[in-house]
């Protein structure tokens, strides 16, 4: 795939060696956090290396430094671009694409919240609306209806908190205790 590998004529003189111990600790720590959030560990590792080194790196550089396959780096960089956490650019003297990390943490978090968490909460709200309607049709008892309403209110509060965060980078969950 064009832009994802370097021929020997495209290579600059610098070949990346294995990570130093401290780089490996950073890269793996970020990978663990990213994996905890439901993404693939290597997505975090690639982004962390790009961020840490603060320079454009080719796919080949990433492969060598992180000991990843060409295909893995290709898929990961494509995903990172899609999530707007890395972008490709040309580097003078090289025909290969190079990648740089997005450094605006809030922008990255907002994108993930908008694309993942907000959509999930919206689906939950719709499911709870359906559940409430069906429970009423089935003539569920008042306590059950109230529990569903409380779950729906909690989902609405989470939805509003996420939207507030996206607009202001602040989250207010003070009302959650009343619902719970």
The tokens describing 24, both together, are 């490996």
Q: Half-sphere exposure of residue 163, counting CA atoms within 13 Å on the CB side? A: 9
- Please tell me the total count of domains within the chain: 2
Tell me, yes or no, whether 7 lies in a domain: no
| 173 confidence band (pLDDT: 50, 70, 90) | low
pLDDT in tens, 25-68: 999 999 999 999 888 999 999 999 999 999 999 999 999 999 99
Q: What b-and-e string marks burial along 61-78, b requiring 16 or more CB atoms within 10 Å of the CB?
A: bbbbbbebeeebbbbbbe
32 and 93 both lie in a single domain: yes
pLDDT: which is higher, 13 or 86: 86
128 and 170 both lie in a single domain: yes
The CATH number of the domain where 78 resides is what?
A: 1.10.10.10
97 and 41 both lie in a single domain: yes
CA-wise closest residue to 132 among 150, 116, 108:
150
Cα–Cα distances in angstroms (integers) from residue 86 to residues 44, 51, 138, in the given order = 11, 9, 51
Residue 39 CB: number of other CB atoms within 10 A?
A: 19
pLDDT in tens, 86-138: 999 999 999 999 999 998 887 888 888 888 889 999 999 999 999 999 999 99
| The pLDDT value given to residue 11 | 39
| The pLDDT value given to residue 147 | 96
| The pLDDT value given to residue 7 | 37
Tell me, yes or no, whether 2 lies in a domain: no
pTM > 0.85: no
58 and 117 both lie in a single domain: no
Write down the residue that tokens 């069906």 correspond to.
Answer: 134
Domain end residue (candidates: 57, 77, 101): 101
Alpha helix stretches (DSSP H) within 20-69: 21-36, 41-53, 59-66
| 4 confidence band (pLDDT: 50, 70, 90) | very low
| The pLDDT value given to residue 61 | 94
Distance of alpha carbon 75 from alpha carbon 93, whole angstroms: 25
The tokens describing 162, both together, are 């996420």
Domain end residue (candidates: 101, 118, 134): 101
55 and 94 both lie in a single domain: yes
When pLDDT is averaged across residues 70-82 and rounded to a whole number, the result is 95
| The pLDDT value given to residue 122 | 94
DSSP-assigned beta bridge partners for residue 89: 98
The domain in which residue 63 lies consists of: 21-101
Domain end residue (candidates: 80, 101, 122): 101
């Amino acid at each position: 795939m064009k832009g994802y590998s370097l021929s020997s004529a495209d290579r600059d003189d610098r070949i990346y060696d294995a990570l130093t111990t401290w780089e490996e600790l950073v890269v793996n720590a970020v990978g663990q956090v990213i994996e905890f959030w439901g993404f693939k560990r290597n997505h975090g590792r690639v982004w962390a290396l790009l961020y840490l080194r603060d320079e454009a790196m080719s796919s080949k550089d990433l492969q060598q430094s992180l000991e990843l396959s060409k295909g893995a780096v290709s898929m990961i960089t494509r995903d990172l671009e899609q999530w707007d956490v890395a972008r490709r650019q040309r580097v003078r003297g090289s025909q290969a694409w190079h990648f740089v990390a997005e450094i605006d943490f809030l922008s990255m978090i907002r994108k993930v919240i908008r694309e993942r968490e907000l959509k999930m909460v919206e689906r939950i709200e719709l499911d709870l609306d359906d559940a409430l309607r069906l429970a009423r049709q089935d003539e569920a008892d008042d306590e059950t209806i109230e529990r569903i309403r409380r779950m729906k209110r909690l989902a609405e509060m989470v939805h509003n908190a996420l939207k507030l965060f996206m607009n202001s980078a602040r989250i207010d969950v003070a009302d959650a205790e009343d619902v719970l």
